[in-house]
Amino acid sequence: METTAQIPKYHLNEEEEKKLILREYRSLLKVVKSKLKPGDKNLIRTAFEMAAEAHKTMRRKSGEPYILHPIAVAKISVEEIGLGVRSTIAALLHDTVEDTDITLDDVKREFGSEITKIVDGLTKISNVMDVNASQQAENFKKILLTLTDDPRVILIKLADRLHNMRTLDSMKREKQLKVSSETVYIYAPLAHRMGLYSIKTELEDLAMKYMEPDVYKDIARKLAETKKERTRFINEFIKPIKEKVEKAGLNAEVYGRPKSIHSIWNKIKKKGVDFEEVYDLFAIRIILDSTPEKEKEDCWKVYSIVSDEYNPSPERLRDWLSNPKSNGYEALHTTVMGPMGRWVEVQIRTKRMNEIAEKGLAAHWKYKEESGEGDRFDKWFQQIREVIGHQESDSIDFLQEFKTSFLVEEIFVYTPKGDVKMLPVGSTALDFAFSIHSAIGVKTIGAKVNHKLVPISHKLHSGDQVEIITSNKQKASEDWLSFVVTSRAKGRIRDALKEEKKKVADEGKYAVQRKLEGLGVSMVQHNIEELVHWYKLPSNLDLFYQVAIKNIDLKELKDFKVIGDKIEAPKPVKILPEKPEYIPGHIHHAKKDAELIIFGESSDKIVYNLANCCKPIPGDDVFGFVTTGKGLTIHRTNCPNAAKLLANYGHRVVKTKWAKNKEISFLTGVKIIGLDDVGVVNKITNLISGDLKLNIAAMTIEAKEGLFRGNIKLYVNDKEELDNLVQCLLDLPGIESVERYDMEDVPL
């Protein structure tokens, strides 16, 4: 979804544009051809003409005709997601109701209610990441309600997002950051949950291209440079497996595919290794052509062939044949020791499983119709319906909770009777209790995991067998909210706490009633509201509760005026607020899109502080974030919290850049790993303090088994100086790695 553009960045005359639009439209017809029934082609043509006419004056940011966007979204929906004719029509019309004069009634008249419902769903969610946080969470709920109603809405929305990400180059930098952050925060996990792995991967890679451009380019370059060597290794690895699979009379396709840049980067960060040390830059895929009744047997046969040829790592076997993921994914994954001492991931699945892995939900429907199976998705939708129906708050927590409950990897655990329960990774014994029944959850006092007694906060792992221990005396507690992760548990705990609060508040209610009667007035709504307002509380319940627990003793009621049967709060003395030093939106820009320049000192009268979570220094790619009461906080764009801030609070982000200022130093930190050699500390300190004239704030060095690990806090002027330091340290003999600290918890 975009607005009209400024200056076209390409030059086509009207005639050439018409030809381009027609060419794209024909290419769409080509991909949808196999799904057409009599009359469908005319319906698609009508939708295309309707959209082309409605968007005819509109352009994308790149300057090209807007209609090319809906055509591209329709094409992705069919070709890459596997949707059909009705989705094609809805995708062509997905922006018309919001952006043009076309109404839902017009769509209904032409195409009937099913397509109208999808278009309506797409219209409702098109602004989901806008305006303010609470509205965003509200809108996100609408997405999910529509999703559980007709999942095609979310699938077309993912196609829309994928096309916008593919064409993000023509957007301004801050828009690129915002859209990429939302993509990584919500859309990529949603694609993953819908089983669309290749789309999830592409969304993550594209987001990384804008959020961490240098790292992205660096990994892409290294992948290109090592392609030849990788291909040689893959061919050598595959050869004996192919021969044995054929010998066993199995029909299979065996090939290697590179891992995504994003997943390689995650591995580099997680394991603290260099690109050269990431062995699993690719995965080997074995796709079997099996009949439904022989699928599992054939997959295990291939596993046996692979593990005979290469040594498997026992803890890296993932069996999603016996317990498929709730998004329908089935496969066997194993990691084996290949030639040259390299670990290689091997994925084994059948053609049917592969289609579900690539096309997710759409393929799942196809097979559901054929086999009558497929209640896993339905269960998932049912859980979402339940949570949304139950959710009262419209806070940003809703998004966070939705992510942790529904968009993460899962574990499976067993009940004492052997039934399987799927729960998100990180779930505790208490989450398990609430997943059985809320009445059991609130009475839980402990659990037995694999027959051993554990506390209710105990984190579960796949394969655990869990028995819940309850007591009628147990009550829900506020601190439970800090360790449960599922929305169901959180919702039920909040309900139980509210019930408890109501019981306590009843006593406070009588106290308020007696006090008001003492003043000669009755307990009418006006009088309660006056008290709630005076004590600055959110609701009547909170007033009664605070009175009951003696936080409020109602002494101040003697200062209230009594007029008839009503009380009136005394007027507070007005204290004029101090003039804020920084007001978002009131920066005197030289031009509309001027950047806020951070000087490293407050001479520009803007209060700002550097975020502790990522410790930015001049030269880092940064953005400003308006924090309530604290003015402006500067974060690096690759800060661990950046995606959440940019995705949820885009309206509070200020475009920021550094100005050169050599007078001021900034605290940063590096960690060094190297060989424990005599005089290594001397070499390091001489280089930093002597050669580079940098000021060391703190330093710890620990040596163990021939290796040393050093943590150094020091002051630098900017990123350039830090990069130079890292390079000089790496040039010292015996130094293995030098990394800048990103987090605030530098262990010093």
CA 261/CA 277 separation, integer angstroms = 15
**Beta strands 653-658 and 596-598, pairing class:** parallel
Task: Say whether 99 is catalytic.
Answer: yes
**Beta strands 622-627 and 653-658, pairing class:** antiparallel
- Apex CA 345: angle with CA 339 and CA 349, to 5°? 125
Query: Which residues are registered as beta bridge partners of 346?
Result: 284, 334
Contact indicator for 609, 182 with CB cutoff of 8 Å: no
The closest of 291, 284, 361 to 329, measured between CA atoms, is: 361
**Beta strands 332-337 and 343-350, pairing class:** antiparallel
CA 622/CA 620 separation, integer angstroms = 6
Phi-psi region of 111 (alpha: psi -120 to 50; beta: other; left: phi over 0): alpha
- Residue 195, SS3 per DSSP: coil
CA 670/CA 704 separation, integer angstroms = 19
Contact indicator for 167, 114 with CB cutoff of 8 Å: no
What is the residue-wise DSSP string for 325-353? Answer: -TT----EEEEEE-GGG-EEEEEEEEHHH
Query: Which residues are registered as beta bridge partners of 654?
Result: 624
CA 158/CA 199 separation, integer angstroms = 8
**Phi, psi (rounded to 5 degrees) for 561:** -85, 145
Task: From the candidates 24, 98, 106, 495, give the one annotated as an active-site residue.
Answer: 98
Task: Say whether 744 is catalytic.
Answer: no
The closest of 642, 662, 667, 684 to 746, measured between CA atoms, is: 667
Which positions ≥6 away from 440 have C-beta within 8 Å?
433, 434, 468, 470
Q: Which helix (H) or strand (E) holds 466?
A: strand 466-470
- Apex CA 252: angle with CA 370 and CA 344, to 5°? 115
CA 528/CA 136 separation, integer angstroms = 32
CA 711/CA 684 separation, integer angstroms = 11
CA 554/CA 693 separation, integer angstroms = 64
Contact indicator for 190, 158 with CB cutoff of 8 Å: yes
Residues shown for the chain = 748
Residue whose structure tokens are 């299979």: 252
Token pair of 233, please? 């290794």
Question: Which residues are catalytically annotated?
Answer: 98-99
